[in-house]
Structure 1
Amino acid sequence: MSNESEKAPVGIIGGTGLTTLAGLEITGETECTTPWGSPSAPLVEGQLGNQKVVFLSRHGNPHRIPPHQVNYRANLRALYDAGVRTVIGVNAVGGIHREMGPAHVVIPDQIIDYTWGRPSTFFEGDLEETTHIDFTWPYDADARATLVAAAKGRSVPFSDFGVYAATQGPRLETAAEIRKLERDGCDLVGMTGMPEAVLAAELGMRYVCLALVVNWAAGKSDHIITMEEIEEAIEQGMSGVKSILEASMADLGALTPKSS
């Protein structure tokens, strides 16, 4: 790619509120379909400085698709077809680690998949051969380093490590399940981290998670989890998420595409 205007767009998967980044100009919206069906919502295209950005609302707009029914394959393929080669998955999660309480930002480095029954690969059907991709490091190292540097530069309280436990949902976990996840080494718990990460890897895309803790996981506080608590944490912590995205977008766009 020879100049700024030819850089690939950066994809952001998350809530619709992320389209209010400072300095972002929304330039269009595209309805699309893929061999795997339609994505959760139209692709919203924008321009942040010299960097093109494509937003996709994971749960639809309005928010209506539960985590176990998200068409993850269509979402990733739609972004890929739009030219995206670097994807940021913004996730609301529960905190297990003692340092990861409500409104805290986490850039995790590992994931454990506890989901079941979700279509989780592009490699199925009438294949010429079986393909096994390496998934040792589920989050792209260069993209993670870019987000970490942006968080430090904006003085956003955050953790640059964490094991994300991807659970089935849509219900929240029991206290006993959280104790099990903690014994397994998990620091965070969410419902949308998989198969999103592995599908991006199958397409040869750089993928990184930017997580916002919106509640203590079950049994980690002295009260039950309420939507009021979650909404308050989102309001408090989303400014940090947006600040990191604003500061990192140009550098993420400058990353060279992985060979797929």
Structure 2
Amino acid sequence: MQRTAIIGGSGLYQMEGIEVLDELDIDTPYGKPSDTLTLAKIHGQEVVFLPRHGKTHSIPPHKINYRANIYALKLVGASQIISVSAVGSLREDIAPGDFVIVDQFVDRTRERVSTFFDGPIVAHVSLADPVCASLRSQLQQACEQQHITTHNKGTYMVMQGPQFSTRAESNVYRSWGMDVIGMTNMPEAKLAREAEICYATVAMCTDYDCWHENEDDVSVSNVLEVMHKNVGKAKIMLDTFFKNKPKGKQACACHQALQHGIFADLKAQDDNALRPIHALVKRFL
């Protein structure tokens, strides 16, 4: 059983031609995920939708239970995750309404638990390239087929939130060479790598943050207006992605991320140590 997971707003679920199969109420060793998972079928492919902030958008970025979200997706057989995220632009040429298929992250969040391997079992996975190249390429092709203005790489600056940036912060991030800014994709991407799930982000630009002298500063009303249009384009992009996607599991190095990263003899560990990470390490036992 191999499924594609989509983490994003609940508005993505209202896609033409989608067949909803079930609502999955999942428990994990880390508590409940943000909401129930919606199991559906698109073009014959099984898809799991998870609203990152809950279906009523009641969970702020710093309160999301990222470990429960990723672990729940692992439990239901997700082999890849498409993160659909609203972001601000830090570059003149990335305009509101543009999509960016992110290839790098800079994590400036704090006090968010960012690993499943919290001891006594320790693991170190590579995050040199935190986004799955194959999944990125497929998403880029889907955007191009639908003539969505798309930037095929970019660095996503992940800020703590829930407040937007100060003008000084925004200009500092620009001086660092950051391309877009948002609040949610870390530690999400780190945890997906530890769970050996392919991960890619479609960053949908809604505003110019607050650095642009000729544009209004970012506000919720402005963001929502552009976001509504972006969601429509995201649905079209996802429909094309699943129409083109090969059926069956695709081999990828992401699925072997833990192969040489676990610093413990798992078979010598007791149940208390293994229970919270069992879904991640059971293939080694």
Shift of 1:126: 2.3
1:60 alignment counterpart: 54
**Pairing 1:256–2:248 present:** no
Give the TM-score taking structure 2 as reference length: 0.85
1:3 alignment counterpart: none
2:268 alignment counterpart: none
**Structure 1 vs Structure 2 CA RMSD:** 1.4
What is the alpha-carbon distance in structure 1 between the residues aligned to residue 246 and residue 161 of structure 2? 31
Task: Give the one of 149, 164, 170 matched to 1:172.
Answer: 164
Task: Give the one of 192, 200, 211 matched to 2:192.
Answer: 200
2:218 alignment counterpart: 225
Letter in 1 for 2:165: E
> Which structure is larger by alpha-carbon Rg, 1 or 2?
2
Shift of 1:259: 2.8
C-alpha contact (below 8 Å) 2:90/2:211 kept by paired residues: no
| 1:211-230: CA deviation from partner (whole Å, max 9, x where unpaired) | 11111111224422222211
Shift of 1:125: 2.9
Identity of matched residues, %: 34
2:207 alignment counterpart: 215
**Pairing 1:247–2:240 present:** yes
Letter in 1 for 2:251: T
For residues 83 and 236 of structure 1, do their structure 2 counterparts lie closer, same or farther at Cα, with a shift above 3 Å needed? same
C-alpha contact (below 8 Å) 2:107/2:157 kept by paired residues: yes
What is the alpha-carbon distance in structure 2 between the residues aligned to residue 252 and residue 110 of structure 1? 25
Question: What count of residue pairs does the alignment treat as equivalent?
Answer: 252
2:144 alignment counterpart: 152
Shift of 1:253: 5.4
Which SS does the other structure have where 1:116 is aligned?
coil
Moved over 6 A (4+): none
What is the alpha-carbon distance in structure 1 between the residues aligned to residue 90 and residue 246 of structure 2? 29
Once the two structures are superposed, the pairs formed by residues 176-187 of structure 1 within 5 Å of their partners are 176-187=168-179
C-alpha contact (below 8 Å) 2:209/2:217 kept by paired residues: no
**Pairing 1:98–2:92 present:** yes
Which SS does the other structure have where 1:73 is aligned?
helix
C-alpha contact (below 8 Å) 1:10/1:249 kept by paired residues: no
What is the alpha-carbon distance in structure 2 between the residues aligned to residue 191 and residue 51 of structure 1? 30
Which SS does the other structure have where 1:85 is aligned?
strand
Residues 221-230 or 185-194, more deviating: 221-230
Give the TM-score taking structure 1 as reference length: 0.93
Letter in 1 for 2:234: V
Q: Which runs of 5+ in 1 are unaligned?
A: 1-5
What is the alpha-carbon distance in structure 2 between the residues aligned to residue 116 and residue 165 of structure 1? 13
2:134 alignment counterpart: 142
What is the alpha-carbon distance in structure 2 between the residues aligned to residue 97 and residue 241 of structure 1? 21
1:72 alignment counterpart: 66
Which SS does the other structure have where 2:40 is aligned?
strand
